[in-house]
Amino acid sequence: MGIKFDESKRIFKLDAKDTSYLFHVTDSNHLLHMYYGKYVEDTDLYYLLRLGDEKFVPAVHDAMGPHSFDCAPLEYSTSGVADFREPCLQVMDKKGMSACEIQYVSHKIYDGKPKITGLPATFANKDSDCQTLEINCIDKHLNLEVVLIYTVFNELDVITRSVRLKNASDDTIHIRRVLSTCIDFDTIDMDMITLQGTWARERHVQRGKLRHGKQSVDSIRGASSHSLNPFVALVSPDATEDVGEAYGFSLIYSGSFLALAEGTQYEKTRFVMGLNPYDFDWKLDPGAEFEAPEVVMVYSDEGIGKMSRTFHDLYRNHLIRGKYKDVRRPILINNWEATYFNFDTDKLIDIARESADLGIEMLVMDDGWFGKRDDDTTGLGDWVVNENKIKGGLKNLVEEVNKLGLKFGIWFEPEMISPDSDLYRAHPDWCIHVDGRKRTTARSQLVLDMSRQDVRDHVYGQMKEILSSANIEYVKWDMNRQITEMGNEILPADQQRELWHRYMLGVYDMLEKLTTDFPHILLETCAGGGGRFDAGMLYYSPQIWTSDDSDAIERLKIQHGTSLVYPVSTMGAHVSDSPNHIVGRKTPFKTRGHVAMVGTFGYELDVTKLSEDDKNDIREQIIEFNKYNELVRTGDYYRIGDPFANSRFDSWMFVAKDKSEALVEYIQVLKVPSLFEHRIRLKGLDPKARYKDEETGNIYGGDTLMNAGILIPKLHGDFQSHIIHLMKV
């Protein structure tokens, strides 16, 4: 595995675990893509380019010989040079011209992986984990240096890509777009899988056939958004969970993005992904550099499931950092759905006392503890404890909770400001706005300008003071609206369009400070639920609140879609009240527990008002969680059911890396009359091993469980659940 360069053929070959990726440097020093897919031994795949086959092709580029930029499989596409497909790079020079053409100059190959300045990215735990290739290119007319960066992970089917630009000229250049990856596939016969939704209905799976023209998913909201996720899979039409080819693309970025597949006139497909060029412009002064975010590319020859498990392994081991990277997370209870804004010290201690008796390990105090915050119209930005509610102060509350044996966590919304706040009255210019235009509020709040150092210093200073004042061991970082009227009062006119990206760099800067200054704190990010569930956030927070909709049945689709790319260990999942606060559905306590156990696990209800039966259910759920969490958190995840294709049931399973243990979870969504038992086929087991069902004592061959299947016992009623724990014997 690793990276090779065939000097005689001028071919780069990148080999991941079972994956090969090849491209060629032409005589004219252009980079042409040759192959991406299952591992091949040969290096010389030059014949795949079919150079010279075209007898007549419009827009032939003289420097490339008898080949057209309009159909050439370019390794990194640029604008204005006879390639009429989607470009990755577009710049504007001092004369207002936007043509750009890059050519190979040199390269270097080295062990390990570089950081990207100011941005989250995957990393090597040791240099031998991966190898990196940097291709130095140049636009000679502009004297613009373009570095294409590839990293190959040796033990995973993963190749990452990013781009670095440097203005080596004496004149200012404006970057109009800079996407991070470009692949020209030799077919249009693929399906495109994306994750779409809205608030409380995030990351639903959407699959459709590629067609001629452009199909894209994007965000122009300043955040990755509830509606479309920065993830795309291009799969063969026959691809299922277990068979077929799948190419997965995940952008490690939390702001506005674009992912686009274009079916071309020659029955090929171009795929590009990166920063959204909408309303984007970056002034690149002489000598200055710009680094684009990273795209993770995963190839699977064994269906969508293998693609997902590769993403899970990569993100668990090479993206998530800190104290909680590899350990069990505390079982928490959040007071939001229990009290909303109506709480004080006494109420929180009552919840903590009852929670401690049940085996819950952490109390999280949500929105409403600061400023003059009794509803969602005031107080954001005033991160000062409201001692009318928190009587005796925060330190006293935390100490009382700690005495009960619970850890303590706290909620912030650092990126937001309420017009009715002391901070806004003192600094009305600190929010993102366009001078003279009406400032659009959402949820009665505006967005602070995180591109400004003075704003970040003030907000983080308040947060740091709070977090240093007591034994706080968890932070929920929320963001409940997205950005409008994008503008500020600091940047000059020719840099105003940089604000989209500068905002995100500012947020990342604050997150890096928080995780550096308080490495013991478990950080969970949130954005109105799952509105910023992306790989960029996982670099700072090992878990993300998956959705504000905690209804167990709605969560089946949300968690299924999320699992296509993100590990279940990152999904914030809680048992909430019934009827559910959002959809009004009544579900059994047991089922709510089994669905939440897929994620980080916790509670979102008022335990002081529960019946003794429900309290006993909590005790049993916590025993189950403790028993299975190591397997759930570190094992391989297999989807058995599909809640988008079958409304009757859903099922999934976890298999230990050494195949010694497995946990199967089954949810009967709708009861079907005259169907007493349901058979499901398991996955991922050792076919030569024998497994014992812990509950029944029955012993089965691994091949039997995967080929013949196992029976789910009769479950009476809708929304019922059943689990099967298997141990190798």
* 93 belongs to the catalytic site: no
Q: How far is CA 688 from the centre of its chain?
A: 36
Task: Single out the residue of 117, 197, 124 nearest to residue 158, CA to CA.
Answer: 124
Strand-strand pairing, 294-300 and 158-167:
antiparallel
Could you tell me whether strands 407-412 and 228-235 are parallel, antiparallel, or unpaired per DSSP bridges? unpaired
One-letter identity of residue 104:
Y
Rounded Cα distance between 650 and 667, Å, is 5
Which residues does 99 contact at the CB level (< 8 Å), separation at least 6?
A: 79, 80, 81, 141
Q: Which residue type is seen at 79?
A: S
Query: Distance between CA atoms of 415 and 109, rounded to whole angstroms?
Result: 40
The identity of residue 483, as a single letter, is I
In the DSSP assignment, the letter for residue 395 is H
User: Which residue in the block uniquely carries the two structure tokens 């696990």?
Assistant: 601
CA-angle at 534, arms to 530 and 537, nearest 5°? 100
Q: Which residue has the tokens 């970082």?
A: 477
Nearest to 74 by CA among 34, 112, 123, 105: 34
Q: CA distances (Å), 695 to each of 206, 597, 706, 722, in order?
A: 37, 19, 19, 11
Which one of the listed residues 83, 548, 617, 650 is annotated catalytic? 548
Cis peptide before 579 (omega within 30 of 0): yes
The tokens describing 270, both together, are: 């171009």
Token pair for residue 271? Answer: 């795929």
478 is catalytic: yes
Q: Out of 184, 281, 366, 478, which one is annotated catalytic? A: 478
**Residues forming a β-bridge with 192:** 208, 234
Which H or E run contains 37?
strand 31-38
Q: Which residues of 531-554 are buried (b: 16+ CB within 10 A; e: fewer)?
A: bbbbbbbbbbbbbbbbbbbbbbbb
**DSSP-assigned letters across all residues of 5-16:** EETTTTEEEEE-
Six token digits for residue 185 = 């596939």
Q: How far apart are CA 115 and CA 127, in angstroms?
A: 13
Alpha-carbon torsion (464, 470, 474, 479), positive or negative:
negative
* 503 close to 432: Cβ distance less than 8 angstroms: yes
If 0-12 CB within 10 Å is exposed, 13-18 middle and 19+ buried, where does residue 716 land? Answer: exposed
From residue 503, alpha-carbon distances to 41, 188, 276, 452, 507 in Å are 45, 37, 14, 8, 6
Residue 715 to residue 398: CA distance in whole angstroms: 44
Give the integer Cα–Cα distance in Å for 725 and 696: 10
SS (H, E, C) 421-463: CHHHHHCHHHECCCCCCCCCCECCEEEECCCCHHHHHHHHHHH
Residue 694: is it exposed, middle or buried by C-beta count within 10 angstroms (0-12/13-18/19+)?
middle
Q: Which positions are catalytic?
A: 478, 548
